[in-house]
Amino acid sequence: MLPQGVAIDSRTGIVSPSTTVYEKRLSEFRGVYSDTAALDALIASKGDLVTYTVSERKDPGTDIFFGTTVMQPGRVGEEYFMTRGHFHARRDRGEIYYTQSGEGLLLLQSRDGEIRTVEMKPGVCASIPPDWGHRSINTGTEPLVFVWCCNQDAGHDYAEIATRGMRQLVVQRGGMTAYVANPKYEA
Amino acid sequence: MLPQGVAIDSRTGIVSPSTTVYEKRLSEFRGVYSDTAALDALIASKGDLVTYTVSERKDPGTDIFFGTTVMQPGRVGEEYFMTRGHFHARRDRGEIYYTQSGEGLLLLQSRDGEIRTVEMKPGVCASIPPDWGHRSINTGTEPLVFVWCCNQDAGHDYAEIATRGMRQLVVQRGGMTAYVANPKYEA
């Protein structure tokens, strides 16, 4: 690769030029959100909405890469729109999430089920240690945009979180953001 | 380490909490700027100014780390204030420079002397390939603030650039930014 400048729009999260862009839609999250009836109702009424978009800049011949995630505001029942959540395949690889706009929560979980959160707001750079699962959640009313950076060989392990979710759910109740135990996790 | 949020001020470059902060002053750049008489005159008239400040957030137990560099505006003779410039000790380690405010140039040089530049302006994420020396230069009138991220084991090799500098100098002539051959490099 040669040195290059890649423009990041802190409002839209557009990475130009990017190497890969993918979108995640509501229908891909059956079993991820706890309220499946609410998910089906939302798809029936609003269509199969894109909840988040990931834009990557990954160049051959270097170790690290970066990109953006743009998480739309919204909820499925009580639960805010969120990413699937993942551990890295390599247990020695961390990651950095640098919030550009919007507001949200980074929900983290260690392999033994310890939960931590980091507030996501413009200017906060969240440091995700190796072997902590992580999920970003838009608790605001605007798109949540963050730049992430990690080693290209970190890889993804979605299985752990896909099976029973994370220990806590982040929900809106009575107009407030609340953490509640995830019954599926404890089962 | 545990997950954490670190605040970055995009105007001042302050990282809070940081783990290390260091400043570089004019007197440390004798032999780096081409015009030694101008350097001495500047120190005599303005004092031993801080030209840049590096704030790091480096946590044990993870692979990558990040921080900011704040480069003040100014010149030594024709040459703009700039970093020393370095290669990484590990030749397989790249780096990312994400400009937050100000304007400048990232000057890059391969081991065989090829020169490239990337414009530094807010929103531009510069990808520095492994084994390319790099120096940041403030060509504007405000502080140049950027966030950098790389592997903790990348290391620094300052010797290559300290010996004869980079192939080109970035200077202000007639109110314009110009690239000129570095006579010391070619000697």
> What are the start-end ranges of the H helices in chain A?
36-46, 159-164, 183-186
Q: Which residue has the tokens 């040459």?
A: B79
**Is the complex ipTM higher than 0.90?**
yes
What is the rounded CA–CA span in Å between residue A116 and residue A161? Answer: 15
Cβ proximity of B178 and B172 under 8 Å: yes
Q: How far does the CA of residue B46 sit from the closest CA of chain A (Å)?
A: 33
State CA A18 to chain mean position distance. 19
- Most B-contacting residue of A149, A151, A152, A166 (CB-CB within 10 A), to test interface: A149
Which residue in the set B5, B125, B149 is minimally distant from A6, CB to CB?
Answer: B125
What phi, psi does B39 have (nearest 5°)? -65, -50
What is the rounded CA–CA span in Å between residue B124 and residue B116? Answer: 16
Cβ proximity of B39 and B26 under 8 Å: yes
Cβ proximity of A81 and A137 under 8 Å: yes
Q: What is the pLDDT of residues A101-158, one digit of tens each?
A: 999 999 999 999 999 999 999 999 999 999 999 999 999 999 999 999 999 999 999 9
**For residue B186, how many other CB atoms are within 10 A of its CB?**
9
Residues of B in contact with A57 (CB under 8 A): 125, 127
Residues of B in contact with A9 (CB under 8 A): 123
- Report the half-sphere exposure of A33 (CA within 13 A, side-chain side): 27
Q: Which residues of A touch B (CB under 8 A)?
A: 1-10, 57, 59, 61-64, 66, 92-96, 98, 106, 108, 116-120, 123-130, 132, 134, 147, 149-151
Instruction: Look at residue B85 and give its three-state secondary structure.
Output: coil
Q: What is the pLDDT of residues A40-80, one digit of tens each?
A: 999 999 999 999 999 999 999 999 999 999 999 999 999 99
pLDDT of residue B62: 97
What is the rounded CA–CA span in Å between residue B154 and residue B152? Answer: 6
A160: confidence class by pLDDT, cuts 50, 70, 90: confident
Q: Do the chains contact at A7 and B124, CB–CB below 8 Å?
A: yes
Q: Which amino acid is at A84?
A: R
pLDDT of residue A187: 76
What is the rounded CA–CA span in Å between residue B105 and residue A150? Answer: 24
What is the rounded CA–CA span in Å between residue A15 and residue A56? Answer: 7
pLDDT per position in chain B (187 positions), as tens?
Answer: 899 999 999 999 999 999 999 999 999 999 999 999 999 999 999 999 999 999 999 999 999 999 999 999 999 999 999 999 999 999 999 999 999 999 999 999 999 999 999 999 999 999 999 999 999 999 999 999 999 999 999 999 999 898 889 999 999 999 999 999 999 998 7
What is the rounded CA–CA span in Å between residue A145 and residue A122? Answer: 9
Cβ proximity of B106 and B126 under 8 Å: yes
